[in-house]
Structure 1
Amino acid sequence: MALRNSTLSGPAIARTECAGAAGGARRGRRAGSRDRDSGAGPPPKAEPRVRAAAAMAIFSVYVVNKAGGLIYQLDSYAPRAEAEKTFSYPLDLLLKLHDERVLVAFGQRDGIRVGHAVLAINGADVNGKYTADGKEVLEYLGNPANYPVSIRFGRPRLTSNEKLMLASMFHSLFAIGSQLSPEQGSSGIEMLETDTFKLHCFQTLTGIKFVVLADPRQAGIDSLLRKIYEIYSDFALKNPFYSLEMPIRCELFDQNLKLALEVAEKAGTFGPGS
């Protein structure tokens, strides 16, 4: 089961751009002939516009056991809209404490949004509601002697407990999707698509789920999921110190998984023997 958003097809866009380029070329030839007739030189060539392509990326990997427990998680690349600004006293933002984080409650401006969390103060990352020195963030920002102060805001990072909860929720959604299928033997949720990422899932015959969050344009995720399963079989299951259904703490598994993610981001596919 997959949720997809309709988009313009590539050939249609290409035809439109080619038609526009052809029309521009014809207009350029006509203008050039008029300039030659009037004795003026040819018009200067326009500098080509270079469109920067955003790099594709694999954001994170989750491994969920058949009971819905998170046994492995890796953040590979996590893009965040972060904003850093230097403030003078008094602080013109209203901050509040929520779930052990200091969040913006009112006064969004300059890329700082309501709901953003305080991520760093004067370049040092904060730990929840505490600064790097162990002081409470709200108490530190309430002291005029600490100003001017540089604060970096951004989307709150997921805690370990939140990741465990989300893995369990996805396990339940996967089971619901399988039950709602009109056909017997449904594979469950294979992909969920949003405007900023795609969630891909591969479930093995033993019930282990491998979940990859990636850029919507990233190719070769199906091959990557099977490659991760192969790495799991080689470096986790064959490890005599690893117990089934338990958290994966194997250095070779970590190393080979990170290498596979790098290959997937660059090439997009895995060939035989890769």
Structure 2
Amino acid sequence: MDSNGFADRLRAREKAVGYWVTLDAPAATERIARIGYDYVVLDGQHGLLGTRGLLDGLIAIEAGGSSVGLVRVEANHATPIGRALDAGAAGVIVPLIDSAEDAAYAVRAARYPPVGIRSYGPTRAGLRIGPTPADADAATVVLAMIETRQGLANVEAICATPGLDGIYVGPSNLCLAVGGRFPGDPDVAVPFNAALALIAETAAAAGIAAGIHTPSGEVARQRLGEGYTFATVSSDLDHLQAAAAAHLAASR
């Protein structure tokens, strides 16, 4: 998929479904990228992917041919953000955004001067979007994760950040942020669902995209029906374990 086309669709709040990759297994990532997901995210924060793994994964996604590659970077810092984009990512998901100031920094780190502070050195990225900084900025999406108590409290200001293309819910941390003892704690289902609704409504009011991680295609469809504009399905590692366990159970 063309990076510019994906950016345009996301900014227009068109529905999209993606997949999450945590393993440094380019051949497997390439297969996933052939299925038809709109985007594939490489997890540079909690995944088992170093710098070379991100590069190989992005090459594999492009070889798959039907998805664009995004990277969830390890931190809200110009170095990992720039490295992911230089490697050819169509955009970044930035974790642990607590405030509008955090979101504004993430935007600046992903944009070239005079808009931002990204160092010019497009390397592989230049093969996808051209060497012109303005073209690169137009094709690059920046998504801020809402997953902390502070981020939830400041979600309206975060969504109003100039240049921010969307927000992305990390449900595990968000569940903890609203008082859960563990991700998915049923005792906080009411405040958790209220938080999800607030986030989706706030993004819609600001005119930006709203994304969320989900454990299954069924939940992804549910969230898209609740106002989210893009949803990511599970992960390669979770599906590998689930498939292996199901086959073992069937064989016994």
TM-score (norm 2): 0.26
* Bigger strand fraction: 1
Decide which structure has the larger Cα Rg and report it. 1
* Bigger helix fraction: 2
